[in-house]
Structure 1
Amino acid sequence: METKEKQFTSKDFHQTFARPTFVMPEKLIHKNVEQAGEHNQFSTERKHPVFFIDLPSKNVSMTVGGLLPDQLTNRHRHTYETMLYVIEGHGYTEIEDTKVEWKAGDAVYIPSWAWHRHKNLSNTENAKYLACENAPQLQNLGVALREEEGRDI
């Protein structure tokens, strides 16, 4: 006889059949992220250096992004949220029609599906930031989407 699992509705949010389990991943550390090398395809597409932090998270990604002196990235948008922490340099991020100026030590929030781009205001020094995104979570759900102005539209 086939057993049928209960179908949940919104009133059942507190119920679940799932039981958490611990699974030790093979990798817990990614040493010397920047020395491991740029992500060439993504860096070329975005036109600035990008270093992926290669850890087994299924929900959150981290990258180290760099902006070369006086660099302005392409406008793009995606269905995942982004939080940037500026490690060095100063510049701005355009989010839709709003310009948010930043410097080392600042954090910037980019909402999902907002057109945005980044600009390094120094013509001699690089800017560097850490980007945290919920892209893997949305990819695993099949709803991650990214559009780049000039490539996709």
Structure 2
Amino acid sequence: MSKLAAAAVKKSTHTEQKQFSSKDFHQTFARPTYVKPSHVIHKNVENAGVHNQFSEERKHPVFFVDLPSKNVSMTIGGLLPGQKTHLHRHTYETVLYVLEGKGWTKVEDEIVEWEAGDAVYIPSWAWHQHQNLSDSEPAKYIACENAPQLQNLGVALREEEGRDF
């Protein structure tokens, strides 16, 4: 072996990084850097208008919060008086925060009633559906999801009962 090759082998053995196991979750060799995003605010989200295709598919108004996150998304959703969504599921988690109204969410076989100020958790791949209990007042919520993260990994999937995807 040449002196140059021997030096390269010696150097590589000294720079090898430790292999982590589950007990080492707090350790890392990562060195984060700040990358300036294109923008950090989306003013007057609802004034930008509903996302027509998304709203039509889901049969209720949806407003996307347009921020450059690659891991989480936020939307403002609404249910018209008496409205019920289709039964559906997706590979991403969802946390709903109810801004206005009263209704219920069915998660698999459990029905939870909610009202303004409540938060509801939808686990990954759980069949679920939402309904506004009022016949006269709309319901409004914020939905936060890890959909962009799973989309970027190529594993985001959404399915509606009775629809072939």
The two structures share one fold, judged by TM-score above 0.5: yes
Q: Which residue of 1 aligns with 2:84?
A: 72
| Max Rg structure | 2
Please, which runs of 5 or more residues in structure 2 have no aligned partner?
none
Matches within 5 A, 1:30-41: 30-41=42-53
Equivalents in 1 of 2:74, 2:164: separation in Å?
Answer: 24
**Displacement, 1:81?**
0.6
> Which whole-Å deviations, capped at 9, do the CAs of 1:82-131 have from their partners, x for residues lacking one?
00000000000010111010000110001100000100000010000000
Kindly state the Cα deviation for residue 152 of structure 1 after the two structures are TM-superposed.
2.6
Q: Which TM-score applies when normalising by structure 2?
A: 0.84
1:47 maps to which residue? 59
Picking from 22, 35, 39, the partner of 1:27 is 39
Higher share of residues assigned helix: 2
**Counterpart secondary structure, 1:92:** strand
Q: Which amino acid aligns with 2:132?
A: N
CA distance in 2, matches of 1:51, 1:152: 26
| Aligned residue pairs, count | 152
Deviates further, 143-152 or 21-30: 143-152
Task: Give TM-score, length-normalised by structure 1.
Answer: 0.90
> Please, which moves more after superposition, 139-148 or 68-77?
139-148
Q: CA RMSD in A?
A: 2.1
Whole-angstrom distance in 2 between the partners of 1:152 and 1:7: 46
Which residue of 2 is the match for residue 104 of structure 1?
116
Percent identity over the alignment is: 72
